[in-house]
Structure formats: C-alpha cells, structure tokens
Structure 1
C-alpha cells in the first residue's frame, strides 16, 4: 500500500478528528452526452453513474476504506444509488457491476424498477458483510435542484471512509457542454481537493470515451 504508507501522517492527523470528512460541492463541467444517450437508447443517469464509478476506481485515493481500524484497498465496486418510490419516499437500489456499458445500464434500470416498486425500505444492503459494504460508493441524484451545498449522512461521524457523491439538475452550457452541481464527501486522510479535481477530469474522460467508442 504505497499510497497509504506515504500518506500515513495525513491519515493519522485527520482520522483523530471528530469528523475527518472532506466535503466539496462544485459545478461539474462535462461534454453534453445526452444527445448521444438518446441516439443509443441509453438512460443518461445510468451512463453518468457508470462514468462516475469508473472514475472513482481510476483515482487511487478513492479506493481506500477502513475496516476494524485497519486501512484496506478495494478493487471492485457494488453499484448502488437512491431512488424514489410511488409515494416519493427514498429507497436504495443495488446491482452487480458489469464492465459492458449497455449491460451496466440494463442492470441499473432493473434495480431502479425493483426498488421504486417497494413501499418498505429496501434492506438488501443489510445482508452485506462489513467488508462487502466497503465495495460501495454512496450515490444520490437530486435532478430537480440546482443545489449549492449538501450534507451527506454518515453512520458514524468519525468514519466517513465510504465516499458519498451527489449531483443535481443539468444545465446547458456553451460549446456542446453541460454543467451540474456535484458534491463529493470522502475521508480527508485519503482524499484531498486535488483528488476531487482528478475525479472530475476522469468523469469527463469516461463520458468522452463512451461517445467515441
């Protein structure tokens, strides 16, 4: 674990704090991939979800978690995201990863349909072991709002080791671009503002690669 060994002093400093969470909300600038999604018959949210999760694996600092006081590095992700049901109540959707974009989107759509049809809270995540739970990034989308900040919930204030990511309403931008409010919460012992900048760059690159494939 070369990275965590190099950052050990930073990690120990932030991990001693009551809340070691780093929170940033910013305008994410992306190529406008919506026309491409329409032409391909793909749901834009799920295409962006795939790009975001691929990007979190591409930026090494987002791969680290804490379990039983020890730092571990993940090598896979279990996609999960929030949905609303017929009563406009929150629920959770989960599905197995696929490297194929179309299969990824299909699995995400099926998971959304299943979770949206539930009245009760989907408790499938409770079947995950603590180690399996570390293979997540918490994703939520608030497409109705052009928000400027958000407070992500954490099960334990002092352990925000699973990153939380949220985005909001798309806005048209000049020159074939779009912008959206984007929020990232991560453990500051692993992630600095620069790494969130890298995450944003990787998301844009993933979307560009999809459209050029």
Structure 2
C-alpha cells in the first residue's frame, strides 16, 4: 500500500467532500476485435468485459476500496453487469471470476441468461458480506446509445469507492479501429484522469493480446 500512502493527502482532501467521485466520459479507441470474436465464436460484449476487468486488476488505483473506515486493496474481482429481461426491466448478473477467457465468457453468458429469465430483481447480492461487496466493479452497457455523459447511482453519495463503468454503441473508426462511448466513475481520492487514461490503454492492450494469441 506504499503507493496509496504517497497519495493519502489527496484521499483525505477528496474524501471530506460531499461527493468525492470523479466521472469522466470519453470515446474509447480500440482495435476492432469483432471479426476475431466471430472467428472464435465469442460474444463481443463478454470479451470486452473480460478485457476491462483484467485491466482493472492491473491498475492498482482501481483496486483501492474503503472498508470499516480503512483503505484496503482488493486482489480479486466478482464480475457483474446489467442485463435487460423479457419485460425490458433491468436486472443484475454476477458470476465467479476466472482468468481464462473462454471460461470467463461461458460463465458470463450463463449468468446473463439466468438474470434475463428472471422477473424479480436478482437478490444474489444480498448473500454477499460487506467485505465481499468490495470485490465488485459496477458494469453497465447501453448498446443502443452513443452517449456523451452519464450519472451513476450511488448508495451513499460520500462513498463512491467501488468504480462504476459504462459503455455504449459501437461504431467503426478509421484504419480498422472501433470507437465507443465509455464512462468511468471512481473515488477521486484513488483515481485521477491519468489512471483513467491508463485503464483505456490497458483495455486496448488486453484486446490486442487476445487477438495475438488463442483464447
């Protein structure tokens, strides 16, 4: 936690504010990995989800959380994301982490199908302990919209320590690139604009790594 101690004064500054969250929306520039997904029979959303969460784990500032009044650093993630059920109502899907891409996709698809089939709100979160809840990153996808801003809900305005990420409609970019609106909300005591830049670069690198090897 030495890196955190180097910025503890920044954390103290922002943590005293009514809302210490930083929320940045930008166009994420990625290699167009969709043809590779079609070739390997993998759904693009779940491949991107894996790339995003692997990137979160590789950037220390996104692993900081507040638990029992102290700053901790998580070392694992519980993947979760929003889905739309047959009534067009939101629900939550969550599943156990794996670093293997194909197994990650398999578990993610199964969690999506289960959550989509439910009419009631998925209450699996209720079984999580307060400490287990800190292993989450909140993910939502809005594939219909090319949004330019977003406001994520927070249970407690003054404690946005679990990052919230969102992305929207894909569009073709120049030279075989893929462009999409992307939003990152996090505790400003932990995350600055530079770290969000690092995250964007790492997501692109994870996708390039998938395409260079075998899933």
CA shift, 1:202, in A, is: 0.2
Q: What is residue 161 of structure 2 aligned with on the other side?
A: 161
2:33 matches 1:33: yes
Q: Deviations over 1:13-48 (max 9, x none)?
A: 000000000000000000000000000000000000
Aligned counterpart, 2:112: 112
1:80 maps to which residue? 80
Alignment match, 1:91: 91
Q: CA RMSD in A?
A: 0.4
Question: Which residue is 1:135 aligned to?
Answer: 135
Query: Per-residue deviation at 1:3?
Result: 1.4
* CA distance, structure 1, for counterparts of residue 120 and residue 200 of structure 2: 35
- How far apart are the structure 1 equivalents of 2:169 and 2:8? 38
Normalising by structure 1, we get a TM-score of 0.99
What is the CA–CA distance in structure 1 between the aligned matches of 2:138 and 2:209, rounded to whole Å?
A: 24
Give the whole-Å Cα distance in 2 for the aligned partners of 1:122 and 1:159: 23
- Residue 172 of structure 1 corresponds to 172
Q: Scaled by the length of structure 2, what TM-score is found?
A: 0.99
Report the number of matched residues.
213
**Correspondence 1:1-80 to 2 at 5 A:** 1-80=1-80
Q: 5+ unaligned residues in a row in structure 2: which ranges?
A: none
Q: In the alignment, what sits opposite 2:199?
A: 199
1:186 Cα offset (Å)? 0.2
Where 1:191 maps in the other structure, the secondary structure is coil
Shift of 1:4: 1.3
Describe the SS at the equivalent of 2:166.
strand
The CA distance in 1 between the partners of 2:3 and 2:93, in whole Å, is 32
SS at match of 2:175: coil
